[in-house]
Structure 1
Amino acid sequence: MTKTVRTLLAFFLITTLNYSYAADKLRFIGDVTFPTGEMFAKTEIGGLSGIAYDKNKKRMLAVSDDKSLVNETRFYEFDISLTEKSFSVKPAVVVRLKNKAGNFFKKGEADFEGIALYGNDVLISSEGAINRTKPTPPELYRFNRMGDFVGMISIPEKFLLPRKEHTDKLYGSRDNHSFEALSTSLDGKTTYMGSEEALFQDGPITTISYSSHTRIILYKDLKPTTEIAYQLDKVEAIKAAVGTEKSEEKADLTTGENGLVDIAAINDKTFYTMERSWIPFINKNVIRIFKCTITDKTTDISKMESLKDQSFVAVEKELVADLDDFIPQMTIKELDNIEGIAFGPLLANGNRSLVVVSDNNFGKTQRTLFMAFELISSK
């Protein structure tokens, strides 16, 4: 194959779903970037995978998914200033996390992805490490604000390490696709925790032709009470012209992935989700935010060990925003690996703010990106 044949003459994205658009809208306020390698309190700022806002301290908490490979496992507290016209974040505190024995976590012991406030404590979810000689399961930890271990929160068995039962079919969470999403409702009464992708027993992961169902657990008083099904978007299909000078042949270039990466909860019925797609062919992140509603028709799937061949109703979902639409207003004209979402402070006009953050993977070509929006709600 000649170089001309290999050359991609054009590409475009084809949206494969017909969206239901929410009445809620986002208005871009501003963005802040921390380049990879920036240090604070003898730690490298990076790997920020989940965020939560502390309205009493007026600080944004951000957990790093550093598996004690760069520095100790930790979360940061950022001072945040956010108005209808301006946005700034500055690191204020770093909190190093300790395990049950009172020691810092060993390398690879935990993969912290989500963070939520619970009273004066913090909840932090770990994806675990499944594909290891000594695997660790997905977990939900409770720490105090000093980073000391308080306890473990119960997780339904179906989410734990993959296992085989009676057949060769696997049951449990997929490696690197479990508890990314974590949020406590604004009234503090309900905690949501969601898997990034489908459990083995629930079906295959999302592709360009298949949209999987992942599960979200609802907790009351830190006890799991309900599970709901959440349907992910399909991965975007990419087509490219790859012909010679004599040919206009088009080829499908369809690798990529999509997953539920975080939740921002209003109450026990309404919450916002963020899905992150990665399309390696064009080195692109696709980030979309949805408004979700639990209705009387939404099925509690907690008793369903598998969703295959089952009848159920997933949570209602409406598109609020595709963050691509805000790139022209950003200081750096490119999205990054955005994984965290949370409500920020109330704005002077009474509207809520919404903040997102990217995980730079400690990569030299990536950066830590905060973006702030005004949420213009229909209600």
Structure 2
Amino acid sequence: MKLSLIRRACGAALVMATTMAPAMAAQSHGTAAPSDTGVRARLLGEKIVPHKLPFRNTTVGGLSGIDRDPCTGEYVMISDDRSVLQPARFYTARIAVDGAGVHSVDFTGTHPFLQPDGQVYPPASAGDGKAVDPEELRVDPRTCRYWWAQEGDRPKSASDPVIQPSIQFATPSGGYLGQLPLPAQYVNTMDDRGLRRNKAIEAITFGDRDRVLTSVAEGPLLQDGPEPTLELGALVRLTRQSRTGEVLGQFAYPLDKILTKPDPSSPWPPDAGVPSIVAFRDDPSRYLVLERSWVAGSGFRIRLYDTTTRGATVMENLDSLAGQKVIPMRKELVADFTDLGLSTVDNIEGMTWGPTLRNGERTLLLVSDDNFADDEVTQIVALGIR
């Protein structure tokens, strides 16, 4: 999601940094830990990519998703440029990370996403209904092809085209291969039901021995209740699907309430949502979920949670959560990025598992979306997870 649109009227060498609202639903995050041991995180290091770094006739920025390619060992990062600066695209990079930190980030390639007819996507301003809003990318652990999610668009005006969200398949060079059928609740409509504008699919992950694709709506569906407030959190839908699109289960994830009062002089309201999720290898019900919020006068707040679907209501047949007795997923705080010692806490939107360290810790790499804005950064963060 482009938070610069909320805060504004409009939207290789590297520098190293040392470094529920619905009635009857739970109103705050779960109090029980998803596991007996809990998960701990520590900062390994970070690196800042030069702002608007030119690379192969493109502008590096808007990096809203990252994944590790098991076939090459490189990382793939998706840009949420809606073909405004250059065609919607992704980047590949070598990232050297170990227990001592992030040592280098070297971009190695870039490709545009292609439509079924082989053409690049037009700018979002084209108004022909073919534009996309890329947000997340996962490398298929079985084939090393790319699965990528885009939010589409619920237009503000009835005269503008509806652009449906999608999870598409692509070759490592961006060629179109097809798309995953989405749950009925994810379809954009012009009424008061379905995904909110700019709060659609930003988070996908493979899990359950790579047999299941899990997606999370960034914000609550219109019919499920309001967005988070200072008093109450909200419920967003997490959906597990087979590789052919069969819905295997849908659950309510409890999004935090807004933690800080906004600057009263700002015209922009607070914003919160789920931009990324990764599955645990050894437990098909368990995920790390990233929550991101922005409040005028306070900036970004990033939190990482250990979560489980165990004991939560299975609810794919519920069209609306309003008035329903729903048991949400349990979650436990792993890290508040304000406390990690980062040089800055920015608009972190993507994360992926990295290599396992010699001490048994798994690395978790995260990337921030700078929105191509001068007051934000493209930040690569590495955590050790135990």
Paired AA for residue 120 in structure 1: C
Higher Cα Rg: structure 1 or 2? 1
**Is it true that 1:72 corresponds to 2:81 in the alignment?**
no
Distance 2:194 2:30 in 1: 30
After the TM superposition, which residues 274-285 of structure 1 pair with which residues of structure 2 at under 5 Å, given as runs?
Answer: 274-282=290-298, 284-285=299-300
Q: Confirm or deny: 8 A CA contact 2:28 2:232 kept in the other structure.
A: no
Distance 1:40 1:359 in 2: 17
Q: Confirm or deny: 8 A CA contact 1:202 1:306 kept in the other structure.
A: yes
Which of 152, 156, 169 aligns to 1:128? It is: 152
Secondary structure of 2:223's aligned partner: helix
CA deviations on 1:230-250 (whole Å, 9 max, x unpaired) are 01000013388x9xxxxxxxx
**Cα–Cα, structure 1 residues 239 and 94, in superposed 2: closer, same or farther, change >3 Å?**
closer
Give the structure 1 partner of residue 39 of structure 2: 24
**Could you tell me how far 1:255 is from its partner in structure 2?**
4.2
Q: How many residues align?
A: 341
Paired AA for residue 339 in structure 1: E
Distance 2:262 2:256 in 1: 18
TM-score using structure 1 length: 0.85
CA deviations on 1:201-248 (whole Å, 9 max, x unpaired) are 1011111112110001112224232111101000013388x9xxxxxx
Secondary structure of 2:297's aligned partner: helix
Distance 1:140 1:301 in 2: 21
**Could you tell me how far 1:20 is from its partner in structure 2?**
4.5
Distance 2:304 2:181 in 1: 28
After the TM superposition, which residues 1-379 of structure 1 pair with which residues of structure 2 at under 5 Å, given as runs?
Answer: 20=31, 23-87=38-102, 88-108=104-124, 109-118=131-140, 119-131=143-155, 133-164=160-191, 170-185=192-207, 187-223=209-245, 224-238=247-261, 255-267=269-281, 268-282=284-298, 284-295=299-310, 297-327=311-341, 330=342, 333-376=343-386
Give the structure 2 partner of residue 11 of structure 1: none
Paired AA for residue 125 in structure 1: A
Q: Confirm or deny: 8 A CA contact 2:185 2:319 kept in the other structure.
A: yes
Distance 1:204 1:135 in 2: 22
**Cα–Cα, structure 1 residues 54 and 149, in superposed 2: closer, same or farther, change >3 Å?**
same
**Could you tell me how far 1:184 is from its partner in structure 2?**
1.3
Distance 1:350 1:280 in 2: 40
Show structure 2 runs of 5+ residues with no match: 1-26, 125-130
Secondary structure of 1:373's aligned partner: strand
Q: Confirm or deny: 8 A CA contact 1:355 1:371 kept in the other structure.
A: yes
Distance 1:263 1:222 in 2: 20
Show structure 1 runs of 5+ residues with no match: 1-15, 165-169, 243-250
Q: Confirm or deny: 8 A CA contact 1:59 1:77 kept in the other structure.
A: yes
Give the structure 2 partner of residue 13 of structure 1: none
Paired AA for residue 90 in structure 1: D
**Could you tell me how far 1:350 is from its partner in structure 2?**
2.5
Distance 1:18 1:102 in 2: 45
What is the percent sequence identity of the aligned residues?
Answer: 26
CA deviations on 1:152-179 (whole Å, 9 max, x unpaired) are 1101122111344xxxxx1111100010
Secondary structure of 2:202's aligned partner: strand
**Could you tell me how far 1:18 is from its partner in structure 2?**
7.7
**Could you tell me how far 1:326 is from its partner in structure 2?**
1.5
Paired AA for residue 177 in structure 1: K
Secondary structure of 2:340's aligned partner: helix
Distance 1:293 1:19 in 2: 10
**Cα–Cα, structure 1 residues 21 and 344, in superposed 2: closer, same or farther, change >3 Å?**
farther
CA deviations on 1:266-297 (whole Å, 9 max, x unpaired) are 14211100000101123x100000001121x2
Distance 1:186 1:75 in 2: 26
TM-score using structure 2 length: 0.84
Distance 1:76 1:187 in 2: 26
Paired AA for residue 215 in structure 1: R
Secondary structure of 2:273's aligned partner: strand
**Could you tell me how far 1:125 is from its partner in structure 2?**
0.6
CA RMSD of aligned residues (A): 2.2
Give the structure 2 partner of residue 3 of structure 1: none
Distance 1:107 1:226 in 2: 35
Q: Confirm or deny: 8 A CA contact 2:180 2:244 kept in the other structure.
A: yes
Q: Name which of structure 1's ranges 219-228 and 207-216 shifts more when overlaid on structure 2.
A: 219-228
Secondary structure of 1:158's aligned partner: helix
